[in-house]
Amino acid sequence: MLNITYTASGDIIATDNDGISSLFNLGDIAWTLTSTALVWIMIPGLGFLYSGLLRRKNALTQMYMGIMVLAAISFQWFFWGFSLAFSSTGSMFIGDLKHFAFMDVLDTPSIGSARIPTIVYSIYQLMFAAITPMIAAGAFAERGHLGPIPVFVFAWSTLVYDPIACWTWSPNGWSAKMGVLDFAGGTPVHISSGAAALAISVYLGKRKGWGTEKLSYRPHNTSYVVLGTVMLWFGWFGFNGGSALSANLRAAQACIVTNLAASVGGLTWMIWDYRIDHKWSAVGFCSGAIAGLVAITPASGFVGAPAAVLFGVVAGTCCNFATQFKFLFAIDDALDIFASHAVGGLVGNILTGIFAQRSVAAYDGFTNINGGWVDQHYIQLGYQLADSVAGMVYSFVMTTVILWIMHYVPCCRIRMSDAEAETAEELGMDEYHMGEFAYDYVGLEEEALVRDEKEDFDSNSTVHESSGLHTAN
């Protein structure tokens, strides 16, 4: 039985049956659990963002996707996901089943920080595991079967996210041992999800009318785009600041650079868009803010505020122009996920290799790194590039393999036949798959149309009957 006592300062002393005691800091636990809640709100926020960017008839599907992915990954993480990613006895590529079904995760010090227990670390990392496939799931927008997606998400997290998280953040991982700097998920979260979205887009093929005026639509609900961005921005303080796993100066610095990169990224993208339409686009600002947030993610615990400005400018510019890749290579990436997340994550990893500072990393009082180019550690850029390329290629290839294996498994095929796709895309995924709508008035409009047709029919019948009576008379 676990014995819990407290120090004079209020910290927890957990003593197990073997008499081994562990000291946990209440402030660090509180900050990490708060950050968990902040990252949680990002997942439905991403659903709102995606929903607003699509057409009205597909809006509900993406909001549903957010809670569905969270549920599927919550089970996967409990079942074996956490153990495969963070088992202390795993290999350099993937963990083992030491923590299968959350065994031995209550009172042991976490591998992320000895100041918090593994149970706190596991729930915090669950949020990262859940939001990553949700980012990629935006590639299913407006096409594909909805039913098999939870199966895909479970398999993808097991075979793609967990190994990449292991090699990046586990002390046993090859990337961590090499010295790659990734504070909050440049490769495990953003590059992996962006590459997966590209693979999904290639597998599903183009929507009907892609490249024509039929699909040259504006976001149906810009308010949802802004709301989703606000929820993501708000949650990102827990995403990056929480990755310090402690309420300290490094966490504060991570929050500062996160907010600054997002702000500059939003302004940069909006200015680039202004050159085309001469309009100040709210959607453009939101896109740029997210690009800045993505890019600063791997660097947030390693760079100072001046560098964060550059991160925002470079990410806002590179991701903006990267949205043209889908036309260049004729790939229907409906929500520009590859451009925002894979390219943004790559930009962030590269700039981390240049601007990481050992002095900033030491804000927590114990982290010691060699830094990047600003500290004359020039090989760091090579480490960052190797990790980025490995994560991108691995995610793209494994995602493709998973999709094609499921393609030939009964009831697991995600891609529709041409006839199904034409019907589903015409009706919208909300009606075709769910029989529900994001807005009541969508259904009311249809009811009004039926009512008007009935009234027209009744009116015509009355006229015909009147004409008949007049003739008879």
State residue 439's pLDDT score: 85
State residue 462's pLDDT score: 43
What CA–CA distance (Å, rounded) separates 339 from 321? 8
Nearest to 169 by CA among 161, 259, 443: 161
* Neighbouring residues of 153: CB distance < 8 A, sequence distance ≥ 6: 68, 69, 72, 73, 76, 133, 137
State residue 464's pLDDT score: 43
Q: Is the dihedral of CA 126, 127, 133, 137 positive or negative?
A: positive
Nearest to 384 by CA among 355, 363, 421, 364: 355
State residue 471's pLDDT score: 34
Instruction: Write down the H helix ranges in 25-116.
Output: 26-53, 59-76, 82-86
Q: Is the pLDDT of residue 469 over 60?
A: no
In sequence order, what DSSP letters do the residues of 277-334 get, joined into one string? HSS--HHHHHHHHHHHHHHHTTTTTT--HHHHHHHHHHHHHHHHHHTTHHHHTT---T
What CA–CA distance (Å, rounded) separates 142 from 162? 28
- Side-chain-side CA neighbours of 220 within 13 Å: the count stands at 15
- pLDDT for 297-323, tens place per residue? 999 999 999 999 999 999 999 999 999
- pLDDT for 331-368, tens place per residue? 999 999 999 999 999 999 999 999 999 999 999 999 99
State residue 217's pLDDT score: 77
Confidence of residue 447 (pLDDT cuts 50, 70, 90): very low
Q: What is the mean pLDDT of the chain?
A: 91
State residue 1's pLDDT score: 73
State residue 460's pLDDT score: 53
Query: Which 3 state secondary structure label does DSSP give 6?
Result: strand
State residue 441's pLDDT score: 56
- pLDDT for 77-94, tens place per residue? 999 999 999 999 999 999
The percent of residues in the chain predicted with pLDDT above 70, rounded, is: 93
Nearest to 361 by CA among 259, 263, 243, 265: 243
- pLDDT for 261-279, tens place per residue? 999 999 999 999 999 889 9
Confidence of residue 445 (pLDDT cuts 50, 70, 90): low
- pLDDT for 187-196, tens place per residue? 999 999 999 9
* Neighbouring residues of 269: CB distance < 8 A, sequence distance ≥ 6: 284, 285, 287, 288, 289, 291, 316, 317, 319, 320
The percent of residues in the chain predicted with pLDDT above 90, rounded, is: 81
In sequence order, what DSSP letters do the residues of 431-458 get, joined into one string? IIIIS--SSHHHHHHHHHHHHHHHHHHH
Confidence of residue 3 (pLDDT cuts 50, 70, 90): confident
> Under a CB-based contact definition with an 8 Å cutoff, are residues 296 and 240 in contact?
yes
State residue 205's pLDDT score: 93
- pLDDT for 20-67, tens place per residue? 899 999 999 999 999 999 999 999 999 999 999 999 999 999 999 999
Query: C-alpha dihedral over 268, 272, 275, 280, to 10 degrees?
Result: -60
State residue 472's pLDDT score: 34
* Amino acid residing at 385: L
Residue 149 sits at the vertex; the CA angle it makes with 105 and 220, to the nearest 5 degrees, is 115
Average pLDDT on 379-403 reads 98
Instruction: Write down the H helix ranges in 356-438.
Output: 358-361, 379-407, 418-427, 429
Higher local confidence (pLDDT), 270 or 215: 270
State residue 62's pLDDT score: 93
Confidence of residue 146 (pLDDT cuts 50, 70, 90): very high
State residue 211's pLDDT score: 74
State residue 457's pLDDT score: 47
Q: Is the pLDDT of residue 442 over 80?
A: no
State residue 106's pLDDT score: 85
Range in 66-75, 164-173, 390-399, 452-461 with the lowest mean pLDDT: 452-461
What CA–CA distance (Å, rounded) separates 228 from 217? 19
- Side-chain-side CA neighbours of 308 within 13 Å: the count stands at 24
What CA–CA distance (Å, rounded) separates 461 from 459? 5
Average pLDDT on 401-411 reads 96
Query: Which 3 state secondary structure label does DSSP give 370?
Result: coil
Confidence of residue 234 (pLDDT cuts 50, 70, 90): very high
State residue 413's pLDDT score: 96
